[in-house]
Amino acid sequence: MKTKRKTTTTAVDTTDCNSQPLLFPELIGRKTVTVDFEGGEISSDGGGVLLGRLDRSYGYLNRFAQCFMDYRDEELIEHSVLDLLRQRVYGLALGYEDLNDHDQLRSDPLFAAVCGKEDPVGQQRQRELDRGKALAGKSTLNRLELTPTWASGASRYKKIQADAEAIEDYFINEFVRSLPRRTKQVVLDLDRTNDALHGNQEGRFFHGYYRQYCYTPFYIFCGDWPVVAALHTAESEHQDEVRRLVEKVVARLRRRFARIRIILRADSGYCRDELMSWCEKANVYYVFGLQKNAVLEAKLRGSLRKAKRLLDQQQNQSQRVYKDFRYRAQTWARHRRRVIGKAEWTTQGPNPRFVISNLEAERYDAQELYEQIYCARGDMENRIKEQQLDLYADRTSTEVLWANQLRLWFSTLAYLLVNQLRQVALRGTEMAQATCGTIRLRLFKIGALVRVTVRRVWISLSSAYPLANLFSLVVRRLRQAPGG
């Protein structure tokens, strides 16, 4: 009779692993360096207090929390909507993209203090199992993200409902609020990017240009300020939705600035007769890229020959000649429009480019309109890259499209906070042009010893921190901010 072999599996306890000292005998001659995780209340995010200070001064998260309806039982709530939003958005700004990270972060008293917890060590939690953990865990934050738009008090678990229209209005209102009172002109950049999908998310579609399954988030920026962040699916260009969002931004701007001059700027993907016609009727200016064709290239033929002669004479890398003319495509329902042709000849050959605009020729000549107005839109791509690379705007891995849109908004708000810190507190310094990732690395990621007493939370930063003077300057400037 055969006997079955009994197999056992041993689970690895990460807590036990962390309690074992790590030895590095090769670092210092005869002395062995021992590393363990027994330091106690030590945080790697000492600079996170800057985020909390800036947010309290400007009230961004307070206003953002008003876009959510909380149907939970008030007597059972330990983490308010504001607490949860601060934890999620600050966490993204500090580099924690995954909700799983918060099962460890919830025990960080510095992070809890930054989020506004009055008991940052969590000793007053209702359940004994939660004591010592002041913040919410991954499951609670997950319910925040996955609450459907139709949730109500009758829902069993997911009861924090986000108002999509209110959040959309929130970002537009924060942008308008940030503009000085005497603002006479704004330039709004429109663009979309790709957000690769690696699962079966709702709205998954294969995009021929990007050659992958993806979303195509749509953005509107004014300089480095995020105005709109809309998660679009890839099966269409969503032109009606784009125009709706543009109309909403324009209407909100004119509600505060009756005579403001508004310029839309975008690549050829937004050169559509419907959008241009609306701009012309609404007294909105535009500068869009225009896809080249045989008719346009024929109009630029003489200018290209001139550019080639200049290149042959001066032996430079390239020569440009600009031509200003009127053009009407067969698909346009209206009159001819102003087109600027850039006749460029490089060592590699001709490189013609075109833009279309309703800006006045008396105010902007062809070269200025192309080089100073249109080409400046390239900086928007850097802002989108910052969101995706540094603040995880492309972490849209939940199954539901709505939850992924909410994640995109969280990332956009994290960018808004870090960017505002850059504009308000880092202007004129060595980090005035630093990316969000660099700001995090050099200003937020500071070793800190935390000590909590009855009256204070003592945070002692590393004595070897090389940017102590810059950090002090940032604190002084934040004190001078509104509400500081």
CA distance 463 to 474: 18
What the block records as the tokens of 51 is 């985020």
Closest among 129, 164, 154 to 73, alpha carbons compared: 154
With a CB cutoff of 8 Å and minimum separation 6, the contacts of 230 are 168, 217, 218, 219, 241, 245, 405
* Side-chain half-sphere exposure of 459, counting CA atoms within 13 A: 21
What pLDDT is recorded for position 206?
A: 96
Q: What average pLDDT does the segment 30-44 reach?
A: 82
Range picked from 28-42, 328-342, 384-398 for highest mean pLDDT:
384-398
Q: What is the pLDDT of residues 242-282, one digit of tens each?
A: 999 999 999 999 999 999 999 999 999 999 999 999 999 99
- The per-residue pLDDT for 9 is 41
DSSP state, residue 400: S
For residue 405, give the amino acid letter. Q
pLDDT in the model for residue 18: 59
Per DSSP, the three-state class of 422 is: helix
Start-to-end CA span in the chain (Å): 81
Q: Which of 375, 378, 373 is nearest to 359 (CA)?
A: 373
Question: Could you tell me what percent of the chain has a pLDDT over 70?
Answer: 95
The reported pLDDT for the residue numbered 483 is: 61
Contact 115, 52 (CB under 8 A): yes
Q: What is the rounded CA–CA span in Å between residue 283 and residue 262?
A: 8
Weakest-pLDDT range from 100-104, 308-312, 356-360 = 308-312
Cα separation values, 98 from 18, 379, 447, Å: 21, 28, 21
Query: Which two three-digit tokens encode residue 177?
Result: 């609020």
pTM: 0.91
The two tokens of residue 188 are 């709004």
Six-digit token string for 268: 């050829």
* Structure confidence at residue 366 as a pLDDT band (50, 70, 90): very high
Nearest to 45 by CA among 100, 102, 125: 102
Mean pLDDT, the chain, whole residue set: 91
Query: In this model, does residue 229 exceed pLDDT 60?
Result: yes
Residue 34 has phi, psi (to 5 degrees) of: -110, 130
pLDDT tier at 484 (50, 70, 90 boundaries)? low
Cα-trace Rg, the chain:
27
**What would the pLDDT profile of 146-182 be if each residue is shown by its tens digit?**
998 888 888 888 899 999 999 999 999 999 999 999 9
Helix axes 48-58, 468-479, angle to 10 degrees: 10
Q: Is 69 helix (H, G, I), strand (E, B) or coil?
A: strand
* Side chain identity, residue 70: D
pLDDT of residue 3: 42
Pairing outcome for strands 212-215 and 337-346:
unpaired
What is the number of other CB atoms lying within 10 angstroms of the CB of residue 462? 12
**Contacts by residues 233-242 (CB-CB < 8 Å, ≥ 24 positions apart):** 233/203, 233/205, 233/401, 234/194, 234/205, 234/206, 234/207, 234/210, 235/205, 237/269, 239/272, 239/274, 239/275, 242/190, 242/218, 242/270, 242/275
**In the predicted model, what is the mean pLDDT of residues 230-241?**
96
Question: Cβ contacts of residue 341 below 8 Å, gap of 6+?
Answer: 296, 299, 300, 303, 322, 323, 324, 325, 352, 353, 354
What are the φ/ψ torsions at residue 20 (nearest 5 degrees)?
-80, 130
Q: Distance (Å, rounded) from C-alpha 463 to C-alpha 26?
A: 26
In angstroms, the CA 115 to CA 84 distance is 9
